[in-house]
Structures are given as structure tokens and as C-alpha cells.
Amino acid sequence: MSLEPAVEVHASIADIGRDAWDACAGASEYAGNPFVRFDFLSCLEESGCVSPRTGWAPRHLSVRDGAGVAGVMPLYLKSHSQGEYVFDHSWAHAYARAGGRYYPKLQCAAPFTPATGPRLITRPDADREGAEALLAAGAVSLCDQLGASSLHVTFLTEGEWRRLGARGLLQRQDQQYHWFNAGYRDFDDFLAALSSSRRKTVRRERREAQAGLDIVALTGADLREAHWDAFHAFYMDTGGRKWGAPYLNRRFFSLVGERMADRILLILARRSGRWIAGALNFIGEDCLYGRHWGAVEDVPFLHFEVCYYRAVEEAIARGLARVEAGAQGQHKIARGYLPTPVYSAHWIADPALRTPVARYLAEERRAVADEMAWLAAEYSPFKETAL
């Protein structure tokens, strides 16, 4: 399918190809973001986690110039609102009550991944403004062609958020909790920046979590299928209890482990030779992204140790600027992860829905900003001199 002018629609990322896709994604302002690279997105498609059957039908966009593919957009036709982490269920329900049809919709995202990164992705030597304009207009045009109610661009960069807002998309802001590296030499140096009471609590939690366990960090050639067998069991057990239907299948972990091993940090805990818990992280150019956690044994504070404290240790050792530990969780603040804004942009076709959503988002942005400031002021674990 083609859109005018010069925008093409692709039912698979393979139709665009690794070289063309990564010429854009590998050289963008977020060059180190693993979730927009060809390998990550193609593993989701090849494994069947992303497909029309799962309600994530690829409709990626590309634009060309004289040198080839000038820009790409990871885009999906959705029949539900699962796996997005920017919640619009209330919009869908309200529209349905008014007689509208919210699904299908278009979703521009890294599926199942609430991590900020580029969404209108351009080759570094291309005309970015022109390519972004074509991609944004092409996505809106595709909404009309497919009878989709709306377009949602989630976890985009702040710059893209502002530029799409200027093009008429509705702007939404939420928050996550990120850890920032203030040039710490090691974990003890980080602890020294915390208040005395928080230092004591962190040390106690780590001591209790580690008791009787062997915790290892695996990456690159050290990753084996047996590790993925164990982690998939954790992921399915914990995900099944939390969500009912975990998004990722066993084949995905094998594929991503094969193709992105050097970008993966898998932290596993075992007791008496048996793996009991683990956390999957992806390594970016300046960030460690915590993505999935699971456990088959309930150990006090082990979640904090494996997901948060070990991530901080690894980030410091690797000289990374921050840790993004995924969506939600005010409990992260006490562990040194502070409120940080995240962004999404939305185009809604029907003015009867667009107008009230626009009013709601204006109020929500103010409320989120106020809450972030209040949380940072009231609950920061850092000494005042460390802020």
C-alpha cells in the first residue's frame, strides 16, 4: 500500500530491510536505543508476538529520498489497547457508549515496551523536518484509509512530542521513575548520597534479599538457552498472575538472545543450584533499560535487589547515565529512582471525541507536573545537598 506523497506502508519490517531501517534507527539522536532497532522489532514479528492474530498488525511507514529510505515509523494496526502502557481504555469506553467505534486504531510504538525513544526516525543526512512531516501526515492519512479512529504515538522523545503538538496532535504527559548517575564511583558512593535512614534501609533490604542466594549477571556469549528456559518460566508465572496473558513467547527470548546478546543483561538468582528469579535488561548507549521480572519463589526484597539495586550497580560499572526501570511504581522513589516525564501524542478523527479528550489532557498535564514536583520534594531519598 502507498500513501501520497511518497509514503509507503509495509506489513512487515522485513519488507523495509535491516540495512535501510537501521540506517535511520542506528544513527538517530537515540542511536543507542535498542527498542527501535531492526533486530528487536523483527524478533517480535518472527516470534508471532506481534501479528494480526495478537492484535498488533504491522503497518510500518517509510519515506524515500534520492539516497534511499529517509525515514521510518514503527506503526501497528491495533484491535485493542493491551501492551501499550499509555492507557486510553476510558476513551474507548466513552466513545463506544456514544455509539462510536474506537477499534481499530493505529499505534506508533515499540510494542510492550514503555521506554522513551524515537518514533519518527530519520536518516541523519536526510531532511528531518520534511521526512517527519511526511511520516506524520502519512499516518493520519492511513487512519482515514483504514477506518481507524485514532493515531497514538507513545513514549516518543520530548522533541518529537513538541513537534507533533505543533502539527495538531494532542499532547499527553505521564511519569516514570528513573535513576540518574551523578558520576558515582560505585554503589557505596551512590548510597552516600542518600539520607542516613534510606542508606540503612537499602543495606538491610540487600542483605535480606541476598541471604542464601547466588545472583549472577549474564550478557553476550554467557547467555544460554537454559537461562532463557528459566527466565521464560519466571516471566510466565509472574506475568500470568499480574496480567493474565503475558505478551512474549518462548521463541522471542531465543531470537532476541541470538541477535542482541551484547545488548542484553540478564540478572538471575538461584538457590541451591535452582534458578528462582530474574530480571531482563537491555543495554543502551547511555541507559540500562529494565524490562521484565519474574520469580517462582517469594523472597522478601528480591525484586528490589534484582531489578533496582543490581541495575544501579551495573549502570555505574558501565558508565551509563541512567536506569529506566519501566512503568509505574512509586516504591522506586525510595530506592533512588526519581519522577521523570514521559510523553505521548494523539490524533483523534472524530471531533466529538477529540474535543473532550483535549480538555482532559490539558488538566492531566497540569496534574502530572504538580504530582512530580510534590513526589520529588516530599519523598526523595537523597540528602538535600545531593539533589
What is the average per-residue pLDDT within 17-37? 86
Pair 193, 386: CB distance under 8 Å: yes
Residues sharing a CB contact under 8 Å with residue 77, sequence separation 6 or more, in sequence order: 52, 57, 58, 59, 104, 105, 106, 107, 146, 148
Q: Report the C-alpha gap between 60 and 73 in whole angstroms.
A: 6
Q: What is the mean pLDDT of residues 215-223?
A: 98
Alpha-carbon distances, residue 74 vs 12, 35, 86, 336, 386 (angstroms) = 10, 10, 16, 32, 39
Q: Is 148 helix (H, G, I), strand (E, B) or coil?
A: coil
CB 39 within 8 A of CB 259: yes
**Cα–Cα distance measured from residue 116 to residue 174, given in angstroms and rounded to the nearest whole number:** 12
Number of H-type helices and E-type strands within the chain? 12, 16
Domains 2-174+341-379 and 182-320 share a fold: yes
Backbone φ, ψ for residue 287 (5° rounding): -145, 145
CB atoms under 10 Å from CB of 204, counted, come to 11
Give the residue from 38, 155, 141 showing the smallest Cα distance to 108: 155
What is the per-residue burial (b if ≥16 Cβ within 10 Å, else e) of 70-91? Answer: bbbbbbbbbeebbbbbbebeeb
- The residue behind cell 514521559 is 342
Pair 139, 108: CB distance under 8 Å: yes
Domain ranges of the chain: 2-174+341-379, 182-320
Contacts of 148 (CB under 8 A, 6+ apart): 77, 104, 105, 106, 142, 349
Cβ–Cβ < 8 Å for 346, 315? no
Which residue from 286, 304, 287 is spatially nearest to 295, judged by alpha carbons? Answer: 304
Position 384 confidence tier, pLDDT thresholds 50, 70, 90 = confident
Tell me the torsion sign for CA atoms 359, 360, 363, 368.
Answer: negative
Neighbours of 45 (CB within 10 A): 20
Q: What is the pLDDT of residue 244?
A: 60
Q: What is the pLDDT of residues 238-267, one digit of tens each?
A: 765 655 678 999 999 999 999 999 999 999
Read off the pLDDT of residues 323-372 as tens digits, 9 standing for 90 and up: 999 887 889 999 999 999 999 999 999 999 999 999 999 999 999 999 99
Q: What is the CATH number of domain 2-174+341-379?
A: 3.40.630.30
The CATH H-level (homologous superfamily) assignment of domain 182-320 is: Gcn5-related N-acetyltransferase (GNAT) (3.40.630.30)
> Can you give the pLDDT at residue 283?
97
Which pLDDT score, from 0 to 100, does residue 32 have? 84
Task: Report the candidate in 26, 118, 131, 4 with the shortest Cα–Cα distance to residue 69.
Answer: 131
